[in-house]
Structure 1
Amino acid sequence: MSSNLAHSAARGAFFTLGAQGAKIILQFLSVIVLARLLTPHDYGLIAIVLVVVGIGEIFRDFGLTSASIQAPTLSTGQRDNLFWINAGIGLLLTAVMYFLAVPIEAVTRQPEIVGMVHWLCLLFLLNGLATQHRANLARDLRFRAMAAIDVSAAAIALTAAVVAALLGAEYWALVIQQLTSGVVVVVGSVLAGRWLPRWYSRAHSVRALLGFGWNIVATNLLVYAGSQIDTVLVGLKFGTTPLGLYNRAYQLLMTPLTQVRSPMKNVALPVLSRVQQEPARFDNYVTAAQLMLGYGLGIPLVLVTGLSDPIVRIMLGPRWLEAAPILGLFAVAGLLSTIAFVGYWVYLSRGLGRQLFLYTIVTTLIKAACIVTGSFFGLIGVAIGFTVAPAISWPLSLFWLSRVTPMPTARLYAGAGRILALTASVGVVAWAVASTVSSWGSWPMLLVGLPAGLLTAVAFLILPVYRRDLQNLWTFVRLMLKRQPRTA
C-alpha cells in the first residue's frame, strides 16, 4: 500500500506537471501572439472584469472541491448533492453578475465593460457544472484524464482567441478565449467522469462538508482580496495602460506559476490526507514536496529575474519594456511564496480550515500594507511591495503552522535555506553574465545568461547536502516515470 500510494503520488505529479508544462507553453504562445495583436488597454479591460469573476468563483466553488477530495468517505448521494449545490450557486452568480454590469461600468468609466460582463458571467454556470466532476476525478487519482482536459481546453481556447484577434475582434478575443476554455472543461470533465448526478436528496447529509467548505470560502476570499489589491490599486490610481503593463508582467510570470502550483494540490491533498495518521511518512512527504517545488520552480523563477530584460523584449516586444523590472520582482515573489506553499496543503489535508482562515487574515493584512505603501512610489513601488510581502509572511507561515499541528519545522527551514542559497546564486550569475553581452542584443543575452545560471546550479552539487537533495528528487522522478504494475 505504501509503495502504491507513493507511486500514485509520483505519477499524479508527472501527469499534472506535464499538463501544466503544456499549458505554460500555450500561455507563452498566447502572450507572444496576442500581445502583438492586442493593446495594453484591451488587457486592462479583461483584467478588471476577471477581478469580479474571481470573487464570484470563490463563492461558486464554496470550498466544496477541497471538501470533497479531503473527506475520508464520500457517498454517491453526497457527491450528487454537492453537484447540485455548486451548479445552483453557479446559476445564481451568473444572474447576479449579469445585473452588476452597469454598476461596474459606472465605477470603471469603461463602456466596453458592460458587454464583456454580460458574456463572461456564463463562466460561473460552466464552472459550477464542472466542479464536482473534476473533484471526483482528483479523488479517484485520475490525473491523466484531468491533464488531457486542461491541455485541450487551453489549446482550443488559444486558437479561438488568435483567430478572433486576427479578424479584428480586439478585446472580444480575450472574452472568447475565457468562454471557450470553460465550455471545453465542462464537456471534457463530464465525459471523463462518466457520471450523471441524481436529483438532490436530504437523505444524504452534506452539513459537515459545507462547514469545512465555508472556512475555505472565507480563507479564499481573503487570499483573493490580497491577490487583487495591486490590480485594483494600479487600475484606480494609474489607469488602464499602466494596469495593462502590470497585468502582462503578472500573466507572463504568475499565471504559469499558478498553473503549476495550484493543480498540484489535486495530487498532494488526497495523498497527504491518506497518510495524516502516520507522522513519519507525512513529514517525509511534506519535506520532499518542498524540495520538489523549491528547486523545480525556484531555478526557472530566478532565471526569469536575472534575464527579465531580454525575456520581455523577445516575448512582448519593445513597447512593453517597462514591464521588465516588474517581471523580475514577480519572479522573486513567486519563489518566496512557492517555498511556503506546502503549508497550504498541510492545512487542507488535516482539515484545519479555521486555523487557515485566521492565519490568512494576518498575511492578507501584511500584503495590503506592503502594496499600499509601495504605491506611493509608483508602479515599480507596487511590484516591490508585492515582493516584500511573502518575504515577511514565509517564516511566519511555518511558525504559525507548527503551533496548530505537528510539523517537521527544522527540516523545512533547512531545506528552504538551501533552496534560497542556490537560487540566489543562479539568478545573480545569469544576470551578470548576460549583462556583459547586452550590446549584442536580447537573444545573445538569453543564450549566454541561461546556461551560465544552470551551470551555477550544477556547481552546487559539489556540496554533499545538495547531492542528497538531488538523489531524493531523482528517486521521485523515477517513480513518476515508472508504470504501476498491473495486479491480477
Structure 2
Amino acid sequence: MSLGRGAAHGAAWNLMTAVGERGLGFIVLAILIRHVTLRDVGVVAIASALSEIGRMVTTGGAGEQVIASPGDRSVEAGAFWAQMLLALAMSAALFAAAPLLAMAYDARPIAWVTRALSVNIVIGAFLIVPSARLAQRFGFRALSLMSLGATSLGGVVALALVFTGHGLPALIAQRIVGITFYAVAASITARWRPPAFPSWRVIGDAMRFNIPMMGAAFVDYIAATGYVVLIGIRMPVAAVGQFRIAQRLAEVLQELSIFPASKVFLPVFVAVRDEPERRFAVARSLMDVIAIFSLAAAAIAGAVAKPLVVLMFGPRWVEAAPVFAAMSLIVPAAAIYAFVNPMLTALRRPVLVSVFAGLNAVTIALAAWFAAPFGLITLAWTLALRGVVTALLLLPALSIGIGRSAWPLLRLFVAPFIALIAARVAAAAAVSAFAGGASLGAGVMVAQLAIGGLVAAAVFLGVLLILAPQRVIALARRLLAIFRRTVVVAEVAEAG
C-alpha cells in the first residue's frame, strides 16, 4: 500500500471508529448514569483521572519511538521495559497513596477505586509495541476494530453489573475490561510478546527519548481533563459527578468541532513553513474554518444544553446542563490552542510548544482551584472566561507562527461570536415562548431540543450572512470543492 493511500485509509478508519465509539460509548454511559449515584460518578471521575495521569505519563513517547524505528527489536524492547518499569512504579505509588487520597477528597471509596484503576497503568504498557507495530504497517483497520471491540465489551460487562445492582463496580469494570481486551487483541494481531529484559543502556536510551514527551502528555491531560483532581478537593464529590458529565459533553463537542480540521494542521504547516506569505494565507484560511465551526457548535450546544442532558442522562442530572452550556464556550479557545501547537511544531520550536502547553495547563488549573469552592456555575463560567484570556495570551504564539501580527486571525472570531450571542438569546426566547415550563418530561424536552437547536442554527447562520457574507460563501465553496474531490478520488480508486 502506498504512503498516501495508507494515510487516507488510516484517517478514514480513525474517523469512522471515533464516531462509532462515541455513539456506542454515549449509549452505554446514558444507561449507566441512570443507575448510579452522583457520588459514585464523582468518585470514579477523580480516581480515573488520577490513574489516567499515571498512564499518560508512563506511555508518553514510547509508541512514537517504536514507529520511528521500524523493525528495530532493540528499540522495541527498550521502549516496552522502560515504560513497564515506570508503570509499575506509578501504579505502586498510587496504590500506597490511596488511603491518603481518600482522606484528601473526604470519600472513603476513592481508596479502593484508585487501587483498582491503578492496574490500568500497567496494562497500558502492554499496548505500546503492538499498537505501534500495527500503525507502522497501516493496520488502522485492525486497531479501529479492536478499539471498537474494547468499548463494546467494556460496555456489556458494565451493563451486566449495573443491572444486578453493582453500580460503582460497573463503572470500574468498564475501564479495566476495555483496556485489557485492547492489549490482548493488539498483541495477538501484531504477533508480539513481551521481550527479554534488555541492557540498562538500552532502557536509558528509551527513557531519554521519552521524558520530554511524558511531560507534554502530562501537561496536555491536565489541561484537557485532569484538572478534575483539583476540583474534587475543593467541592463535594457529588458535585464533581455533575461537573464530570458537563465536562465530558464539552470534550465531545471539542472533538466533533475541531477534530476534522485539526488532523491536517501539522502536515499543512510543514509544507508551507519556508514560505511566509503562503503560511499566512493558509493560517488565515484554516482559522476562518475553525472560527465558524467551533462557535457554531458552541452556539447550538449551549442552546440545547438542558434538554440534551435530561434526555440523555435523566432529570437527576439537570444541574449539569447550565454547567455544560457555559463550558461549551471553551471550544473556541481550545481550537486556537489546537492551531498553535502544530504551527510551532512545524517551525521546529519545541521549547515554545512546551511553554504554551504549560501556560494552557497552569491557567486552567488555577481557574479550577480558585473557582470550585463557589459552586458549579461559577466554576463553569470562570473556565469559560479563562478560555478567552488564554486565547489572548496565545497571540504571541500565533504571531511567531505566521511571522506577523496575529490580530487579523483573532478578528475572524468577532462576527461568529456576535452570531453566537444572537443565536443563544433567540433560542432561549423561542424555547420560553413555545416549549417553556418547569416540566422535565420527555415530550417537553424533545420540543425544547428541536426548537432550540433549529432556532440557534438558523439565527447563527443568518447573523453570519449579514456580518460576513463573503466568508460564508467562501466556506461553502471550499467544502463543496473538498466533497467533489473526495468523490472523484473514491471513484478513481474504485475504477483502479
In the superposition, the TM-score normalised over structure 2's length comes to: 0.82
Name the counterpart of 1:76.
Answer: 72
Structure 2: how far apart are the matches of 1:477 and 1:208? 46
Cα pair 1:297 1:335 within 8 Å, conserved = yes
C-alpha displacement of 1:164: 0.8
Name the counterpart of 1:249.
Answer: 246
Per-residue Cα deviation, 1:180-217 (whole angstroms, up to 9, x for no partner):
21012223433454555755666997878755632332
Structure 1: how far apart are the matches of 2:88 and 2:495? 44
Cα pair 1:64 1:82 within 8 Å, conserved = yes
C-alpha displacement of 1:10: 5.7
Percentage identity across aligned positions?
Answer: 18
Greater CA drift, 338-347 or 175-184: 338-347
Name the counterpart of 1:313.
Answer: 310
Greater CA drift, 477-486 or 11-20: 477-486
**Which of residues 25, 28, 31 in structure 2 aligns to 1:30?**
28
Q: How does 1:22-421 map to 2 (within 5 A)?
A: 22-66=20-64, 76-77=72-73, 78-138=75-135, 140-194=137-191, 199=196, 210-211=207-208, 213-227=210-224, 231-255=228-252, 257-258=254-255, 267-268=263-264, 271=267, 275=271, 279=275, 290=287, 294-349=291-346, 352-375=349-372, 377-403=374-400, 409=406, 412-413=409-410, 415-417=412-414, 419-421=416-418
The one-letter amino acid of 1:468's match is A
Structure 2: how far apart are the matches of 1:12 and 1:397? 31
Cα pair 1:311 1:446 within 8 Å, conserved = yes
**Which of residues 470, 475, 485 in structure 2 aligns to 1:469?**
475
Structure 1: how far apart are the matches of 2:180 and 2:260? 19
C-alpha displacement of 1:52: 1.4
Name the counterpart of 2:458.
Answer: 455
- The structure-2 alpha-carbon separation of the partners of 1:473 and 1:224, relative to structure 1 and needing over 3 Å to count, comes to same
Cα pair 1:24 1:259 within 8 Å, conserved = no
Structure 1: how far apart are the matches of 2:404 and 2:16? 30
The one-letter amino acid of 1:112's match is P
SS at match of 1:114: helix
- The structure-2 alpha-carbon separation of the partners of 1:291 and 1:190, relative to structure 1 and needing over 3 Å to count, comes to farther
The one-letter amino acid of 1:443's match is V
- The structure-2 alpha-carbon separation of the partners of 1:357 and 1:289, relative to structure 1 and needing over 3 Å to count, comes to same
Structure 1: how far apart are the matches of 2:344 and 2:486? 25
SS at match of 2:166: coil
Cα pair 2:150 2:181 within 8 Å, conserved = yes
Structure 1: how far apart are the matches of 2:404 and 2:157? 46
C-alpha displacement of 1:12: 4.4
C-alpha displacement of 1:313: 2.2
C-alpha displacement of 1:363: 3.0
C-alpha displacement of 1:299: 2.7
C-alpha displacement of 1:408: 9.6
**Which of residues 413, 426, 445 in structure 1 aligns to 2:448?**
445
SS at match of 2:127: helix
Greater CA drift, 131-140 or 393-402: 131-140
SS at match of 1:485: helix
Structure 1: how far apart are the matches of 2:104 and 2:465? 55
- The structure-2 alpha-carbon separation of the partners of 1:316 and 1:384, relative to structure 1 and needing over 3 Å to count, comes to same
- The structure-2 alpha-carbon separation of the partners of 1:159 and 1:143, relative to structure 1 and needing over 3 Å to count, comes to same
SS at match of 2:165: coil
Per-residue Cα deviation, 1:422-479 (whole angstroms, up to 9, x for no partner):
5444444433322322337221111122122333455445712222122223444455
Higher relative contact order (CA 8 A, sep 6+): 1
SS at match of 1:110: coil
C-alpha displacement of 1:416: 4.2
Greater CA drift, 302-311 or 128-137: 128-137
State the Cα RMSD in Å.
3.8
- The structure-2 alpha-carbon separation of the partners of 1:214 and 1:407, relative to structure 1 and needing over 3 Å to count, comes to farther
Structure 2: how far apart are the matches of 1:136 and 1:418? 46
The one-letter amino acid of 1:366's match is T
List alignment gaps of at least 5 residues for structure 1: none
Cα pair 1:373 1:385 within 8 Å, conserved = no
- The structure-2 alpha-carbon separation of the partners of 1:260 and 1:461, relative to structure 1 and needing over 3 Å to count, comes to closer
Structure 2: how far apart are the matches of 1:476 and 1:116? 47
Structure 2: how far apart are the matches of 1:255 and 1:11? 23
Per-residue Cα deviation, 1:133-184 (whole angstroms, up to 9, x for no partner):
3344445554444332322222221222111100111211000110121012
- The structure-2 alpha-carbon separation of the partners of 1:99 and 1:476, relative to structure 1 and needing over 3 Å to count, comes to farther
- The structure-2 alpha-carbon separation of the partners of 1:403 and 1:330, relative to structure 1 and needing over 3 Å to count, comes to same
SS at match of 1:167: coil
Cα pair 1:254 1:330 within 8 Å, conserved = no
Structure 1: how far apart are the matches of 2:427 and 2:7? 33
- The structure-2 alpha-carbon separation of the partners of 1:219 and 1:83, relative to structure 1 and needing over 3 Å to count, comes to same
Greater CA drift, 25-34 or 155-164: 25-34
Aligned positions, number? 483
- The structure-2 alpha-carbon separation of the partners of 1:480 and 1:436, relative to structure 1 and needing over 3 Å to count, comes to farther
Structure 1: how far apart are the matches of 2:432 and 2:209? 51
Structure 1: how far apart are the matches of 2:150 and 2:456? 34
The one-letter amino acid of 1:63's match is G
The one-letter amino acid of 1:42's match is D
Cα pair 1:84 1:200 within 8 Å, conserved = yes
Name the counterpart of 2:493.
Answer: 485
